[in-house]
Amino acid sequence: MIYADINKTIGQTPVVRINNLAPNHVELFVKAEFFNPAASVKDRLALSIIEEAENSGALKPGQTVVEATSGNTGIGLAMVCAAKGYPLVIVMADSFSVERRRLMRVLGAKVVLTPRAEKAMGMYNKAVELAEANGWFLARQFETEANAKVHEMTTGPEIVADFKDKRLTHFVTGFGTGGTLTGVARVLRRESPDTRIILSEPENAGLVGSGIAQDRNSDGSPVAGHSAWQPHPFQGWSPDFIPAVLQEALDNGSFDELMPVAGPGAINMALQLAQKEGILTGVSGGGTVLAALQVAKTAPEGSVILAMLPDTAERYLSTPLFDDIEAEMTDEERAISLSTPSAQMAGE
């Protein structure tokens, strides 16, 4: 198939069965969002933000776009803006992986780093300041209607179509902005009302589980960071505030169960997905599958469970996910190398 530009390839990501890690009494599937062209679910959001702003006139030709992001939205925006000809400035805390910065820069974006001590609120406030000071278009991924809308228009219908011949009993997702949950829930509540929706979040940063309301400005933006937040390894999940996009799902009861997951377990699950299923996903993907497996423990026989995989493991090379993955040969690999006649003759 021939496409007019890279943005036309976004969406229609595959659903893949988990064969070796799932218990026998359920069917477990993942929606592999790393099949998007910039390798994450945020490609959908990036295109939606830009095209909605173009259509409304909020984004003018050649105007600079600015956004605060942990990386995936920024990479998606960098791809979309490169294809459409918009300059892009990304603001990101310096705690996020360096490969994310480099991917945005190779796509032509400028990346402004904020101190990790200021957390997500620090990068958020800096992006707002830059937009106001320079007359740039602020993408506002945490508040914009374009966020949940794209998942209502694309991700949700894709899931319904993929499971038209199966009864999807459980849908599991985490949250960054909350767009996937909110948009997909709109569709599932209408078209598959028996599907239970499970929201996952970091065990040690339970913003939703805390029950503590987020203080907001009149435009939905957070006033300050949430008191329940703690540092966690889920890059892209659970910023230190509850986004306005997620708040809709909380207010409307758009999920049936909250499933906290621990960081070390999520890292281990991402490694198991790679080594036992051949699926490369990040820590957030590992966390979502870990939550899905916890759901599976008590799910009735014959249950059909779908977990979202937001991105690829290659976005985590400099994070704890790869701490135990050697760059040089291990002793076992060296022994394999030495097992051939040529190595023995060379005296290696």
Cα–Cα distance for residue pair 69/127, rounded to 1 Å: 9
- Record the tokens describing residue 196, joined without a space: 């239970």
* Residue among 48, 200, 254, 284 flagged as catalytic: 284
In contact, 93 and 122? CB cutoff 8 Å: yes
Q: Indicate the SS3 state at residue 247.
A: helix
Burial class (CB in 10 A: 0-12, 13-18, 19+), 115: exposed
Taking the C-alpha atoms of residue 250 and residue 347, their distance in angstroms, rounded to an integer, is: 66
Residue 11 · residue 158 · CB < 8 Å: yes
The beta strands (E) that lie in the chain are given as 15-18, 26-32, 65-68, 88-93, 110-114, 137-138, 170-173, 196-202, 257-261, 303-309
Going from the C-alpha of 80 to that of each of 51, 76, 235, 316, the distances in angstroms are: 10, 6, 21, 22
Task: Name the catalytic one among 31, 42, 119, 126.
Answer: 42
Go through the chain and tell me how many residues it has. Answer: 348
Q: Specify whether 284 is catalytic.
A: yes
Of 240, 169, 170, 171, nearest in space to 202 by CA: 240
Residues pairing with 92 in the sheet:
113
Q: How far apart, in whole angstroms, are the C-alpha atoms of residue 232 and residue 292?
A: 19
* Residues linked to residue 173 through DSSP beta bridges, in sequence order: 199
60 is catalytic: no
| Phi and psi torsions of 247, nearest 5° | -60, -35
Catalytic residues, by residue number, are 42, 284
